[in-house]
Chains A and B, each alone.
Chain A
């Protein structure tokens, strides 16, 4: 079973601060997705990274895929209360162990006004 470990598990910061969430594995993924989930709703896709070393930006969010395609990070600049939510990474393991998506445990982010 492929494992994706996210850190930190919980993060509470003040509005305007920067933060980074990490998603790590010992397995190689063909691609990695980041989702955000708000209370009472299902996760919604933010971005997919495919190429090792790839960097994608979505407004104040910057996503990076590790060179070896085993890890990823999400950096938020000048966090706002609207960024509050559960952030989940999900790896596509079709290169090594099948085509299922494996989800990390999630990072619960709270941005206080």
Chain B
């Protein structure tokens, strides 16, 4: 029972570097999303997808890109890392409602802790 798998778990970047956080789920969920978690700010939605080939912006999309070529994978790309992107990133998946959002339980990965120097 893999569920939602995120890699890497830890990453240190220098300002201006790019990288991709990987997310894969094996539950055949249509809905996938990326959140960032910062102290005192809860979970903020970065980007989400309601199915392969469909992505949309969340609350804090600037500086991040996503793509959804398969149902299983939803990578998050940082194009030019900034210290403000230091955070813990969570990928989450769920079934999709008719309204195009998550329905029922969100299943989270274990998180990717990113530090940008």
Contacts and interface: CB of A to CB of B under 8 A. Distances in A.
A92 B59 CA distance: 15
Given A42-B4, A98-B99, A48 B108 contact: no
B51 interface: no
A88 B97 contact: no
**Which of A42, A43, A103 has the most chain B CB atoms closer than 10 A to its own CB?**
A42
B101 A42 contact: no
B92 A99 contact: no
B26 to A, nearest CB: 15
A58 to B, nearest CB: 14
Interface residues of A, number: 25
B43 interface: yes
A100 to B, nearest CB: 6
A31 to B, nearest CB: 9
Q: Number of contact residues on B: which range applies? A: 20 to 34
A92 B97 CA distance: 11
Given A1-B59, A42-B90, A43-B43, A101 B101 contact: yes
A4 B43 CA distance: 11
Given A48-B105, A99-B100, A100-B58, A40 B110 contact: yes
Contact of A105 (B40, B100, B101, B110): B40
A48 B108 CA distance: 16
Interface string B80-117: 00000000001010000101111011101111000000
Contacts of B45: 100-101
Interface in A68-113: 88, 90, 92, 94, 98-101, 103-106
Given A92-B102, A105-B40, A106-B42, 15 more contacts: A4-B42, A9-B40, A33-B105, A33-B106, A40-B111, A42-B4, A42-B110, A43-B43, A43-B90, A45-B105, A88-B43, A92-B101, A99-B97, A100-B102, A101-B106
Interface of A: 1, 4, 6, 9, 33, 35, 40-45, 48, 88, 90, 92, 94, 98-101, 103-106
Interface of B: 4, 35, 40-45, 48, 58-59, 90, 92, 97, 99-102, 104-106, 108-111
